[in-house]
Structure formats: structure tokens, C-alpha cells
Structure 1
């Protein structure tokens, strides 16, 4: 099997495991917008934004460090595995114990109910405890097992969401027992409980892998891993700011009487950008181990360049597809028309996430050369862009300011990574072609969305024209890959 076919297969399987959990959040939007008030959906979205930052803090770069060290020295693989597992397990329990003691103080500062904070803290700890098992599946190229367990998590989460929000209210009308479990004034809590149950069940399923890997600790290896991981952690913190702080800042920078409603509108329409996010995440899961495993190949740089070009091509098609058919997607995923006023953010969010995906491809240079501190620098710069632009624009433009800030942040990450990469690990990217595809896709998307107001026939024609140009330009290379 050729390198590209193997990468495609693994990316497809990882994609299923990545797409379905994120797709769950999209599928549940119609349910949430019907059952939850906009301000309640805003509360849920803001808490989940805090959890994104929490997930980064509790994994503290050890997943990426694990990938690096497990392939760096074959003779030390077992101690690397056990050291990583021990480190993440201890830190997770210490975090949970300390934060639960101060949950009321945290709730007061964050302006949330204490029970929401409690649910969030437990979810964070449970998710941190499965970081290493899932990483183990990836590094040992077991994408099917990885996918099955991830999909199982989705099924559990979805089932309990449907039970709590649809079945339980009806059951409450039939008996006193079920009625005692239903609190219609606090529907948001059930969403968090469903997430908590799914996380707990997933950990139980993965516990046998704890036994297989085993606990152990090498202080020397741990120090080396932490030295590698800390820049990744800082980059992750900065990245979480770019990904989630727009909702947090909207909550605290807008007037109190409209803040949570605006967060709800923004978050619901942001979900339409998930089509690009899902593609980027699935690709990243397949490509990250691939970067390390093939870094010593003689044609590694040429391979990286080819992958980046085709990633951009498919990303451009997704951008056009969602923008052109946005009127169809909104009817299916956001059936409540009061949310549609925020649809204007969707093209910006799609493009921003495409830039982010290109950045992930370009980031190979600092990962395989052990210059992870540059990843931290780039993400930190983008985080500053996010914070500054949100702070400046939100009071005047509301959620549109957040969308602009997201685009600027991810765009700056892409450009900076390319410029630094040319200096330290010069990959022969076909910049002219990549830039041409990007510009053409952006122009076509703008024509469809802003000039012809989403006219499906004109938009479809533009997609076909783009696809024809792509196939004509890349025909020979496509045939070479297929024949290998």
C-alpha cells in the first residue's frame, strides 16, 4: 500500500471517530434550539468553551510528547508509555480533588451555578484519563479500535441527551418517580450529565488498556518529555484561546441583558463551520503520527508538500459547498429562524478553519525538528490577535467582531508557520498553486454568498467550475497516486 493510500485509509477511519463526536454537537443543535432558550444555550456554550481550555491544561502537551518519544527510541517504548500514563493519572486526580474543594469559589468568579462547575470538573478529569489510551491506539496504528470506542462514546452521549430532553419529560407525566427526576427549570444540567455519563463509560471501556500499559515512572524520561511538552502546552493554551475565548469574551464584554442570547446565536451558527472543523480534525489525527513516522524518509519533504496541496484543495471544496448550500443546512441544523441573523459569520468561520488546517500541515517543521517552542510563539501571537481584536470589536460589532478576530488569528498562524518553516525545514510547497486555489475559492464563495444571496444554481455552477479547474490542473498527479 502506498504512503498516500495508507494515510487516506487511516485518516478516513480517524475521521469517522472525530467527525461523529463533533457531528453530535451539530445534530443536537436542532434539539437544543427547540428545548433550550437562547440564553440557556449560551450558558452551555460558554461552559464548554471553558472546558476546551481545561482539556489543554490537563493533557499539558503529553500526548504530542508521547508521539515523539515513543518513536524516538524503540528500546524505551515501554517506560515512555508507563511514565506518560502515570503522569496523566496522578495529575488528573490531583486536579479534581483540589478544584472540587473550591468549586463554589470558581462558580462565583465565573458566574455559573455551582452544579455546572462540578459537572465540568468531573468531565475534564475523566477526559484527561483517556488521553494516553487513545494516543496509544494512534501510535500503534489501531485506528479501528480507536474509532469504535469514540463512536461508542457518541452513542452513549446521544442516547442520554435524547432520554433526558425528550423521553424524561413525558415519563414525568406518568409517575411520581420520573417526575422527581425532571426539573424543567434546569434543562442545561441534563446536557452536562449526559456528557459526564458518556465520559465515565468510555473510561471504563479503556481501563483494560491501563493494565496492558502498566504504571511506571522514569524521572529522567519524564523531565525530557516535559521539556518537549511545555512549549506544546503553551501553544495549546494559546490555541484554546483562539478556539473558544470568543464565546467567553462575548459573555463578559456585551451588556448583561443580551450577552447570553448573543452567545447562543453565535454558537448555533458557528456549528455550520463545523464541516470544515471536522475535516481539519480528522486530517490532523491521521497526519500527526504520519509526520513523525516518515520524517526520516528521503522524500519526506516532497510528500509533505503534496499532502498540503491536496488538503487545501479538498478544504476549498468544503468551503464552497457549505457556503453555496447554506440555506439548506440552516433549515436542517438550525430550524429556529431567530438564530439565522448570525449566519453572516459562517463564511468567515469556514475560511478561518481552512487556514487553521493549512497551519497544521505547515507545522511539521517544528515538530520533526524538536523546535516546539516556535509553535508556542506562533499560537501565542495568534492568541494576542484574538484577545485584542475581540476586545476592540465586540463592543461595536458583537459576534461579527469575534468572527473577524478568529479569521485574523488563524490566518496569522498559517503565514507565520510558513515563513519560519522556510528557514528551519524548507519544504518545497507549491505556493503558487495553493494560493491560486485559495483565492479562487474565496472569490467564488463571496460571489455566491454576498452577490447572489446564496442562489443555489449559480453557486452549484461555481463549484463545478472550481472542481473542473482542479481536476484539469491535478489530473496527472491524481492518476499517479491512484496507480501506486
Structure 2
């Protein structure tokens, strides 16, 4: 089972991560021409786009996933109707996004206000819906190659344009905005050709309203759950902005949090590959062996996540020195360690959330995600004025840990639980890993090499012992 997941993740990931790796390697080139203000403007705009992003799909991906699993012979008809509805809704959503951005863009970028609005609102209206539809379709089909191709081609274009617009044309934060627009347009063309020409998955615009109402009844309770990812990943920048933290300081926090998001994006290949496997195992709910396989899959993923984040966190100071050619930005590496280690929540979160979704207990999701996100925002408003911007990193870590483990305490989960996932053991391990990496980040390089070697050997031994898991 783990081998299959990792093989699919490799296909999802390798093509997608080559452009991302190129983007990381481009940092020494572009950071010479960027300031903390550039990072601050980009961070605030991205935060508002993320805040509204969940409204584009209205949570309907949950309905699509469930219909795929439950109705293998007629899911295409359901998907095409939902696709038609979301395309029409995207026009309304794009207008709302443009209005919010016009109001929210920082004064530092006031001269480019209308241009920024257009670069984000137009893709939301005409591009993004096709990408969401196509990506989910190929994911559930367990056909990672089309997703990988799109990620590679569009990602490579974005990286190349980032270098050209920032390092050559010296456009600052506008370089990111132009590049993202171009990447979104290319992704639209690729997925549009695949879905409409090859798969014949044309949208049904004359959809049945009773189908849409039934679908929204299931999907809308998921919207607060998905909104929580914004509250956890990017709301910090909006809180800092609301607290009148200077844009340059927000930029410093933005560069730190970006490394956690790099890891999250890189590991998204595992999440994409894991979804269908979890659903297949949960569909065999009468088989206890399938439940044990799902648990072992989760444990193996947790080990891989802990090892990956710990190694990156241990060497974060050196990574910043190598990649960030700006001494002011380099000072953010301790914050990057804290935020990065928070993303170890994901494997345990996936295990519980996939079970709740499959059992159609989506109304319980807000108790995990919405509470985690709202707590993160509330704690930021309390502690940032008292302890400064650094407090936002610690509150994010705490909220992510809640996200990963709170679901195991829910009554709705305990009613469907088949095996014990040992959350009381894994949570302390996550906290100890953060403390260990944070305090070892400044030790001698030879000590780091020794620790890294021991950690890698331990993980390889664990995977070797579990290699016969199917």
C-alpha cells in the first residue's frame, strides 16, 4: 500500500516539484531585487485571495469524490452538472474577489491597484474552475500523469517569468502577479484540452436545480472547514496588517511562512495520491484488515513527514544563507522552523478527515478545522501585541497541532472508529521534534551531519521493516 502511494506520489510530485525546486533555486537570483515591502504586498494580496478562494468551489469537491466512489457508472453525469454550475458561479465569485481586492490592496501598491485586481479576478472568473475540475477528475481516476504534466509545464512558465520580470525587468512584487496570471492561463488551456477534447467531460449548463440544491446541502457545511486552511496558513498576514504591523515586517514573516508552504506544496503529491487509497480502504469497512492497512499507511506517512521537516528545520539557517541573498530576510529563519514543523499535522489529519467525509459526517468537520483556524486568529490578536510578530509562528504551530489531533476526540469519529491511531503518542512526538530542531538549529555543522545521518538511517530501517505492507 505504501509503495503504491509513493509511486503515484512520485509521478504527481516529480513533475510538479521540478518547477518548484527551480523556483526555490531561483531565490538567490530574485531576492537580490526584492525588499521586505515586496514580500509584504504579495503576502497581503495572497492572503485575501486565499480567504475567498474556498468560495469558488463551494465545497462541491466533496460531492464529486463521494459520487465517484458510490456511483461508478453515472458519476460523469453528476460531475458535468456540477461543473456547469461552478462555471457560472465563478463569474459572480470573480466580481466579488475583484471588489475585495480593490479595497484591501496596501497603500504601497495603490498605483497598481486596478492591474492587480484584473490579474486575479479574471483567472478566477474564467480559468480556475476548469483547473479544479480537471485536477480532481484525474486524481480520482488515479491517473497522475495529466496532473504532473500540467504542474510541470505551468510551473516552469511561472518560474521563468518570475526570473524575467523580477531580476531582468525589476518589476518587484508585480513580477509575481504577472507570472501567476500567465501560469493560470496556461493551466486552463492544458486542462481544457484534456477534459473537453479527450475526456468529453463538457459542462452541462442546463443543470437540474434539485441536483444542485442536494449537492450544496452536503457541500456547504464543508466550506467553513476548508476556510480554516486560510485561517491557519495565511490569515497571520491579515492579522498583522490589521494590527498595523509595518508592511516590511509582514514581509519578513511572509518569507518565513513561505518555507512551510513550500513543504506543504511539495507534500501535496502524497495527499493527492493518498485520497483514493484511503477511500478504497474505507469502502471495505467490514474488513478489519483494511482498517489496519489504513492505520499503518498513516503511521508510515507520519514518520516520513517528521523526518522530512526535522531535516529541513535542522538545516534552515544554512538554507536561508544559501538561498536568500538579502541579510534582512535571512533573519527570519527561526520563524520558518516553527511554522515548518507545524505541518507534521497532515498525516493524522488525513486519516480522521477522510473517514468523516466518507461516512458523510461532514457537518462535524467545523469542530476540527474552523475551531483551529478561529483559535489561531484569536490567539494572534492576543499575543502579537504582547510578544511581537514572533508569537504568530507559535500560535500557528499550536493551531496546526489541534487540526491534526482534535478529530480523534469527536463523538462522530469515535462512533465509526475501528482501530486506535494512538494520537496520544504522536502529538507529544510532534512537540518534542519541534523543540529539538529549534534548539539544535545553531549547533556546529558536524553535529548536524551526525544527527541527520542517524535520522535518515532510522527512517530507512523503519521503511524496510514495513516494506511488505500491501
- Could you tell me the TM-score, scaled by structure 2's length? 0.88
SS at 1:335 equivalent: coil
Q: Distance in 2 between matches of 1:374 and 1:280?
A: 26
Is the deviation greater in 74-83 or in 306-315?
Answer: 74-83
Q: Deviations over 1:119-177 (max 9, x none)?
A: 2222333223311011111111210111001111111112222222234x4xxxxxxxx
2:350 aligns to what? 360
Q: Distance in 1 between matches of 2:77 and 2:11?
A: 28
1:162 aligns to what? 163
Is the deviation greater in 15-24 or in 380-389?
Answer: 15-24
Aligned ranges 1:71-470 → 2 under 5 Å: 71-97=69-95, 100=98, 104-105=102-103, 113-125=113-125, 126-167=127-168, 169=169, 187-208=172-193, 209-210=195-196, 212-216=200-204, 217-255=207-245, 259-274=246-261, 276-297=263-284, 298=287, 299-420=289-410, 421-431=413-423, 434=426, 438=430, 441-442=433-434, 444-449=436-441, 453-470=442-459
Is the deviation greater in 7-16 or in 214-223?
Answer: 214-223
SS at 1:130 equivalent: helix
Q: Do the aligned residues in 2 keep the contact of 1:69 with 1:225 (CA within 8 Å)?
A: no
Is the deviation greater in 374-383 or in 145-154?
Answer: 374-383
Q: Do the aligned residues in 2 keep the contact of 1:327 with 1:454 (CA within 8 Å)?
A: no
| 1:390–1:101 Cα change, 3 Å | closer
Q: Do the aligned residues in 1 keep the contact of 2:405 with 2:423 (CA within 8 Å)?
A: no
Q: Do the aligned residues in 2 keep the contact of 1:39 with 1:260 (CA within 8 Å)?
A: yes
Q: Do the aligned residues in 2 keep the contact of 1:42 with 1:263 (CA within 8 Å)?
A: yes
Q: Distance in 1 between matches of 2:264 and 2:46?
A: 16
CA displacement at 1:353 relative to structure 2: 0.8
| 1:97–1:475 Cα change, 3 Å | closer
Aligned-residue CA RMSD in angstroms?
2.7
CA displacement at 1:335 relative to structure 2: 1.9
Q: Do the aligned residues in 1 keep the contact of 2:80 with 2:201 (CA within 8 Å)?
A: yes
| 1:134–1:29 Cα change, 3 Å | same
Q: Do the aligned residues in 2 keep the contact of 1:275 with 1:322 (CA within 8 Å)?
A: no
SS at 1:305 equivalent: helix
| 1:164–1:446 Cα change, 3 Å | closer
Q: Do the aligned residues in 2 keep the contact of 1:242 with 1:409 (CA within 8 Å)?
A: yes
Q: Do the aligned residues in 2 keep the contact of 1:275 with 1:318 (CA within 8 Å)?
A: no
Q: What residue ranges of structure 2 are gaps of 5+ in the alignment?
A: none
Q: Do the aligned residues in 1 keep the contact of 2:45 with 2:104 (CA within 8 Å)?
A: no
CA displacement at 1:472 relative to structure 2: 5.4
Q: Deviations over 1:292-318 (max 9, x none)?
A: 233222233112110111111111111
2:466 aligns to what? 477
CA displacement at 1:87 relative to structure 2: 1.5
SS at 2:172 equivalent: helix
Q: Distance in 1 between matches of 2:363 and 2:16?
A: 27
Q: Distance in 1 between matches of 2:99 and 2:427?
A: 52
CA displacement at 1:24 relative to structure 2: 5.9
Q: Distance in 2 between matches of 1:406 and 1:224?
A: 35
Q: What residue ranges of structure 1 are gaps of 5+ in the alignment?
A: 170-183
Is the deviation greater in 312-321 or in 216-225?
Answer: 216-225
SS at 1:349 equivalent: helix
1:30 aligns with 2:28: yes
CA displacement at 1:338 relative to structure 2: 1.0
Q: Distance in 1 between matches of 2:374 and 2:394?
A: 14
CA displacement at 1:32 relative to structure 2: 4.0
Q: Deviations over 1:424-462 (max 9, x none)?
A: 32433255764575466345424412xxx2322212322
| 1:120–1:30 Cα change, 3 Å | farther
Q: Do the aligned residues in 2 keep the contact of 1:130 with 1:203 (CA within 8 Å)?
A: yes
Is the deviation greater in 144-153 or in 434-443?
Answer: 434-443
SS at 1:311 equivalent: helix
4+ runs deviating over 6 angstroms: 108-111
Q: Distance in 2 between matches of 1:154 and 1:205?
A: 12
SS at 1:75 equivalent: coil
- Give the count of matched residue pairs: 457
2:58 aligns to what? 60
Q: Distance in 2 between matches of 1:205 and 1:262?
A: 38
| 1:99–1:418 Cα change, 3 Å | closer
